Amino acid sequence: MSMKTGYLRYERMDGTVLGEEERTGNFQEFHLRLPEKQRREQAQRCMNCGVPFCQNGTMISGMASGCPLHNLVPEINGLVACGRLEEAYHRLSITHSFPEFTCRVCPALCEAACTCGVHDAPVATKENEKEVIEYAFEHGLVPDESPKVRTGKKVAVVGSGPSGLAAANLLNRRGHDVTVYERKDRIGGLLRYGIPNMKLDKSVIDRRIRLMEKAGIRFITGIDVGKDVPASALMKEYDSVILACGASNPRDIQVPGRDARGIFFAVDFLGMVTKKLLDTDFKEYPGELVEGKEVLVIGGGDTGNDCVGTCIRLGAKRIRQLEMMPKPPEGRLPSNPWPEWPRVLKVDYGQEEAIWKYGSDPRMYQTTVKEFVKDKQGHLKEAVLVSLRPERDEKSGRIRMIPEEGSEKKVKASLVLIAAGFLGCEHYVTDSFSISTDARTNVKTEPGNYLTTRKNVYTAGDMHRGQSLVVWAIAEGQNAARQVDEDLMGYSSL
């Protein structure tokens, strides 16, 4: 470390964020990088502590603490602090397949477990990683990783989200012939169509895919395995198959009036918006979906927030965002100590923009929908909301949210976006491969294993562990690749 007491000398400083008025006029990224001097100072805030929880990546009290990729964070921060960005990139690339994705969309599990964050602001590790990977791309340091020798083994990866891409990248580097199948028209999975462009510019995905293609990975789009191509065809052609199709079965809201026109699943809505932007090279915005409408977003997570930010850019008249659970505290409670993930109030970019645009936070806590009201033509016109109160179940000890009688109220709503999470993978894929799923409809494997109940068929990512983060999907893809490689070759050098 260039300065062991940097955390005492420098306060945390994040890169400049464009103001709400400027950034909501388009779908471009709005987080800027710090100048080199200030970035080095931020890296000097790393304490190089003896027990760095930031790179631990294990579960504590049912939540991940630290990076599941086990990036050696203090080492990387130390190199950034010294201005040795090329070495920092090589250190980061040993454990991380795609830092250009996580530095934009990850909630920074590493920072939540930072020792410096116990009594002060944590080290800006996420932005430090962004500086490292963008410097590497700008200076031609990121190779295509073409293998020198091919093994003669063939592997199919079904799904091109972060998990599938991570698995494909490692297996191709090892020398296996890898083909990635994607049912959509473009590669990227939820990176492409589930995350808005202002959060993850799609040129960042394209940049990586070009390198992977150059390295020899074959990408096939517009093919829905299990429908367009039967599992038997893949099993016959390939030595191993990895299913990385995601947890793409969205949780619905089953209440009267659900069939009204104007109700969409959030991921479908975000996908439609991104596709229109990409198809027109950002010259046309799909304003007809939102402009002038009263929008109701059901769900308070990251996807719900992305819907809020997207609808503001498309001209929504007003936005309400429903959250079933109580409002989180502004700071950690004694029951939620460090280094657990902090269960605290978060105001993300979408809520910030809504406060600027409409004058108040769009979130309504302890609230859900009781009924959707249609007009004579079947279009959504109103929603009946009901307040919820927490009640502890005596048998399980879990908190349930119970509707309060007499708390119903009607609000105008002409567009509803359901961002209530996912219920596991889609059955037509698992049925096609004749593999088992668990009680949560995730693909069943032995603990710590990625082999399904069918020989030579593996799984990874959300399809395996359920809806989760991009960083977990990448970790799953890397781990699955190692197991496939070992089973194919008798050992693994990955």
CATH numeric code, 263-418: 3.50.50.60
For residues 290 and 284, give the distance between their C-alpha atoms in angstroms, rounded to a whole number.
14
pLDDT value of residue 394: 81
Once rounded to an integer, what is the mean pLDDT over residues 82-87? 97
Query: In this structure, what are the phi and psi dihedrals at residue 162, rounded to the nearest 5 degrees?
Result: -60, -35
pTM of the model: 0.96
Whether the predicted pLDDT of 494 surpasses 70: yes
Which amino acid appears at position 447 of this protein?
A: P
Tens-digit pLDDT profile for residues 112-161: 999 999 999 999 999 999 999 999 999 999 999 999 999 999 999 999 99
Query: Mean pLDDT over residues 287-302, rounded?
Result: 96
**Cα(381)–Cα(124) distance, rounded to whole angstroms?**
45
Retrieve residue 343's tokens.
């269960």
Give pLDDT, residue 2: 52
Residue 1's pLDDT is: 47
Gyration radius of the chain's alpha carbons: 23
Q: What average pLDDT is seen over the chain? A: 96
> What average pLDDT does range 51-57 have in this prediction?
92
Q: Is 392 exposed, middle or buried (0-12, 13-18, 19+ CB in 10 A)?
A: exposed
**CA separation for the pair 56, 78 (Å, rounded):** 18
What residues does each domain of the chain span? 6-138, 154-248+423-489, 263-418
Which residues, 6 or more positions from 114, have their beta carbon under 8 angstroms from its beta carbon?
A: 53, 54, 122, 123, 125
Geometric angle at alpha carbon 91, from 90 and 92, rounded to 5°: 90
**Can you identify the CATH homologous superfamily of domain 6-138?**
Alpha-helical ferredoxin (1.10.1060.10)
* 4 burial via Cβ count (<10 Å: 0-12, 13-18, 19+): exposed
Task: Tell me the CATH architecture of domain 154-248+423-489.
Answer: 3-Layer(bba) Sandwich (3.50)
Measured CA angle at 446 (ends 152, 248), to 5 deg: 80
341/400 Cα distance (integer angstroms): 22
Residue 58 reports pLDDT greater than 90: no
Tell me the residue length of the chain: 494
The whole-number average pLDDT for the span 421-445 is 93
Q: 59 has which bridge partners?
A: 64
Give the Cα separation of 84 and 471 in Å (integer): 25
Rounded Cα–Cα distance for residues 57 and 48 (Å): 17
Residue-wise pLDDT for 242-271, tens only, equals 999 999 899 999 999 999 999 999 999 999
Intrachain domains 154-248+423-489 and 263-418 with the same fold: yes
Contacts of 201 (CB under 8 A, 6+ apart): 28, 29
Report d(CA 450, CA 325) in Å as an integer. Answer: 33
pLDDT of residue 303: 96
Question: CA 402 to CA 391: how far, in whole Å?
Answer: 7
